[in-house]
Structure 1
Amino acid sequence: MSSVEERIAALVAVALAWREPDHPARAEAVARTLEADNRYTEEMLAFALNQAMHQVTEQALMLWLDGRSASSAQRVSVWTGDPEPLAGWRDLLAVMLVGHRGLVRLPDSSPHLLPAFVEELETLLANVQVTVVGAQSLDRLPDGVEAVLGSGDDSTMDALGAACEDAGLDASRCLLRGEQVAVGVLGGGESAGERIGLAEDVLLYGGVGRHTVKLIWAPAEQSPDPLLDAFAGFRELMPAHPSMNGTLQMPRAFLAAADTPHAWGEGFLVSWGEPSVQQPGHLRWAPYEDLREVATWLVAHADTFSIVVASPRVGERLAWPGPVVEPGDAHRPPLVGAPGLDDPIALLARL
């Protein structure tokens, strides 16, 4: 088994190489990912990879690990079902840092990025104890699995939880994260930079992902026009997948037939009404009269969302004890102390 210093050195070296878009392994993995069954674009994948690879430094990994390690290497199943380009990235890093043996199951939407990264790790590090595989049956866990890290939709996590129970795994050895989204709260008077940041939080991955803003609360008297302009400007930098406009045609027609106020642009749709999560690419705009109304809703629905996105001045006034991030930070969580994300190392180190 390699030492933690050797594992960190290999992770940092490969991540450094992968910061370059033209790095052969990265470029090939991106090209293959764009051919998979997803709605990613080259710009979206570039964002995800650049964000992840620039986080992997020796200092950051050592700080995250914080001296924790496994008393013995155990087999950990990582089930990645989140619809994000690098689903499972944090769990993979955590398994490697702690020193367990990982079996990583990839989502069909992104089956090439993590395997290519691990394959390159194997050229620098003897005995990489992480295996990346495609789809697996949820009827039963792979033989020898002693812990599970899972993420995905609620029905999948329910099935994975049942498989853990059938395998006799204690709940303390299974970290399962069901569906969640992010909620935005406007206070009026957001700056141009904050509006662009919020546009990124809403639109980046085509409206999918547990940190994607799917619902925005806004003062009843506030016009959405400045934010819609920011959406249009963001789409000039980060185009939507070509299929997105067609996907949104049916909900647009439904809203029109129901006389529901709505607006749309390239690759996005915004509707006004009661706070509820819509399909990817469709943002709900919910008006409020008093921030206390928003805080009450947040408390009642706390298990359905991961973070609140709000400017500092709104966050200070919002009587909400949960994680709040500034506009533009939803898809940029740090490795250490990431708001709205658990720490898988905490579970892995106590196995």
Structure 2
Amino acid sequence: MKPLPFVLSRDWLFALVIAFLCCALYLLDLSPAPPAETGLHSRALVTAVDNSQVRVNLIVKTEDQFLRVRLLDGPCEGQELDVTNILTGKMELDEFYEKGQVILVEYGVQNGKPKNAMARGYYRLDLQLLLIGIFVALLIAVAGVTGLKASLSFVFAALVLWKLFFPLLLLGYPPIPTGLALVALLTLVITLSVGGLNRRGIATFTGSMLGVLLTCGLAVWFTDALHLHGAVRPFAETLLYSGYYDLRLTDIFIASIFIASSGAVMDLAMDIAASMDEIKRKHPDIGLVEHLTSGLRVGRAVIGTMTTTLLLAYSSSHIAMFLLFMAKGLPGVNILNAPFVAAEVLNILVGSFGLITVAPFTALVAAFLYRASLRAGISR
């Protein structure tokens, strides 16, 4: 059998390493809080609905909705029981069910019979898994082994945040250094898995981290200058009331700024590094200054569209808030001066600084890395 090319073998090896790291992170448990005592969970079909106790005030529903459901899986599959759906009056949290719908039910078991059941929302896990499967399949079909590594990197990033970053913050670790360390880890794994274990990957990682460090510095400076604090984020105050009084919410807010922009920064750095790599491959005798100038020219073109990326991403998630301000007829000066709006402006603009500067950073690093002619077999 003909041996696999070195680059392909290296790609598969790197994919296996990421898969191993994902498994290790999945098994890791650093959460400082003991697991909440919960019962069994099961899909359930709503067979009857009792809305007699529900109180309706305009569009807000409160009190309890009583359901009769049939369990569709689990140790009590096929059995029926009564379920209480507690309505709090908050539309972003409440769900109102009808007969024939499939919901998630949490319940206990006594003498082989389900009891004390609570509704936990429409059952969505199957469709979420379907979306993930389609996403991974499409990525692999389009990009091959690179798509496989990108999929694993996606899972790895989610696990790093969920299994490392969030628990470490609750354990009292400083948010900014911890965030920078984990962003460096994510950037290293993602850029080297997509860009490869070569000068293109190294240029992407170095340029990305320079952009992230600049974003972090600006976030620290302007957060203090604008007199902002971390409590402007949703659920931050609730987190303090949950017993974590020593959390540094402002530092967590700052960390969220450079973490949120790191993905776009990596994207732009990869574009520049890949362009610099292709230029050197096509013109191996190109000089340092000319190579750098070509990379900056590509960077200018990409920055023209990337500068609106964070604006559209962040502002679109607050459409309802802006609509409320407009509906109330508030003047623009009041809106822009509000702390939570100022926090989003800071998020957008400081993140965009990182995007703008990562192009020259990456081009400069790549130009020096590719100063010598590429040797055969490592041109990718």
- TM class by shorter chain equals under 0.3
* Structure with greater Cα Rg: 2
Using the size of structure 1 for normalisation, the TM-score is 0.23
Q: Greater RCO between the two (CA within 8 Å, min separation 6)?
A: 1
Q: When the two structures are superposed, what TM-score results if normalisation uses the length of structure 2?
A: 0.22
The structure with the largest helix share of the pair is 2
